[in-house]
Chain A
């Protein structure tokens, strides 16, 4: 009985001590800041340009920053934030990262056996990595390791694939990639060119059978205003994106939707002559 009494007493005394400490030493928090902080994901990805989510919230509440710098916010959350802060609502453009390469092991030729540090930057130092194409994805996962949202999958066939439903477009992978093949594009854009090599078509085909060969078929099908050709590389005009159906004209399947990852395209293309050529080459 005494034990119970003593323990209760200790508990009460300590509780009182905590209450007093909070009362005299507590740091006052802004209720507005707390509400605003709930509207951003709090993963400290750094895409807003501030030193973490808290820093951004402080700047917002102090009126030093405008809402709309956080790419990982949904349109609804942004709207609520604008209401809370009492500022005019900002236009929301959701972005997503795209790995502009289709060179899976099935398609891209490997020129060497690489047994070294499992990191793209390190592989770049050893004769520019093992892949034949000097522009393609090295497939060692430097991008996927920096992604705070776990949105980049490293496939077993040595290519990185972004899952658009998880990607918030913070852009960390864009700077992490030593080959600079990851691009931030509007989430609404339906199709992308999954190749970045500026070389001539014949040069590209020697090292990869899933490269853009600059055949202009997509430009003809979609129109000059929707697709561009820059040298030997097609690109989508993201301000005026073409229709999804354009993908059917691409002979090498580099023009695809994101939901149709490289491996699926590869399986579909295996009946095409391009894939047959890869098999003989490898």
Chain B
């Protein structure tokens, strides 16, 4: 248990390109309209609790959780609900959304009562996390209150706060740790109290020595450990991070709680601190807007529902034409085709790529070089699997554990044949999950 690996199997080391790491977080100015999706999380969309034409205040509940795996949504500013319709989401799907017309006053609703967290009961704290609509802010957007309610038979002894930020280009978590270290640490301690975890680790990649030093200084005497990890992508992936820090392996098809761990993003930690100590719900987040085509890349505190176009305008607009715009980082982000997409609770970055940074390749047959096997952090065989998936042999792919793929993109990053390995894996995962669903439906 005490053996410290500080690294994991496989992985790659892409160019960091963290050009916005020195730019302090600025609060984005108010906009005239916000498009607030009611589904900013994994699970059931939130149910709107306001009607068209209603006046809402900043931080007011506008959508309540629609089911067990769901999260509440709050108004990003004060104004009038212009329409309850739909909008385009970052993965190209239509999301139910509220169009909010700002009145320019940014009047705050009465905040929830601040909790005295060292004395509050875990249930009380957990309820607050749910009320504040907090979701995993690292990218997955899994409702935090659900994550912090492990089943009775699982004991969580270790909480890991993920400040690794191994995606190239993104700097939002780095800046947050530098500017609000107290919030991150208190958020970690609150989460540990909810889970009853004894060990609390804040994990940071070694390329952010300033953040490591600052957090170590602030965390002295609180029982929170700050640890620096080897720079290697995907160090920040949940399963890899757990292995690096504790040497425990999450079983195939299992969750971190199966090995007594919970991993949470530092941004989520800060949001939990704000929700508990200040009674502030989650309606804004730090997002990096970066890329060489931008005039002034940087980090902003955006209200949820800010369209990408406004974010790019804030970064000074473009000096050269971007050829690809990505929601998230370059390794795992999704290319978007519209700038009307709003920033959601899980949007860690908007990345613009110029023509000379991007290669459009022709995909050729697998040459069996095995480079993907060496880099796959889940120790899978992406090349061989992809050949089977192309032939739609999904049952074989399931036997070969295609569902373990974390879609980190290491295999495709190094593939000399330019094969779209991650896309094929995603295809197989969808097919296998659909087949499993129909199998269970048949049994029932």
Contact = CB atoms under 8 A, between A and B. Distances in A.
Interface stretch (B145-153, B274-282, B331-339, B347-355): B331-339
Given A117-B427, A119-B427, A128 B93 contact: yes
A115 B358 CA distance: 13
A117 B360 CA distance: 13
A135 to B, nearest CB: 12
Contact of B420 (A111, A116, A121, A128): A116
B335 A125 contact: no
Report which residue of B337, B338, B420 has the largest number of chain A beta carbons within 10 angstroms of its beta carbon. Answer: B337
Contacts of A202: none
A145 to B, nearest CB: 9
B330 to A, nearest CB: 16
B424 interface: yes
Interface string B419-436: 010011011001100000
Contacts of B360: 115
Interface of B: 91-93, 334-338, 360-361, 363, 390, 420, 423-424, 426-427, 430-431
Contacts of B427: 117, 119, 121-122, 125
B411 to A, nearest CB: 14
Contact of B424 (A115, A122, A127): A122
A27 interface: no
A116 B424 CA distance: 9
A117 to B, nearest CB: 5
A127 B334 contact: yes
A121 B430 CA distance: 9
B431 A127 contact: no
B430 A127 contact: no
Contacts of B334: 126-127
Size category of the binding interface on chain A: 10 to 19
A177 B440 CA distance: 23
Q: Kindly name the residue among A111, A112, A115, A122 whose own CB sees the greatest number of chain B CB atoms within 10 A.
A: A122
Contacts of A119: 427
Contact of A127 (B92, B363, B426): B92
Given A117-B427, A121-B431, A122-B427, A127 B420 contact: no
A244 to B, nearest CB: 38
A112 B427 CA distance: 20
Interface in A90-120: 111-112, 115-117, 119
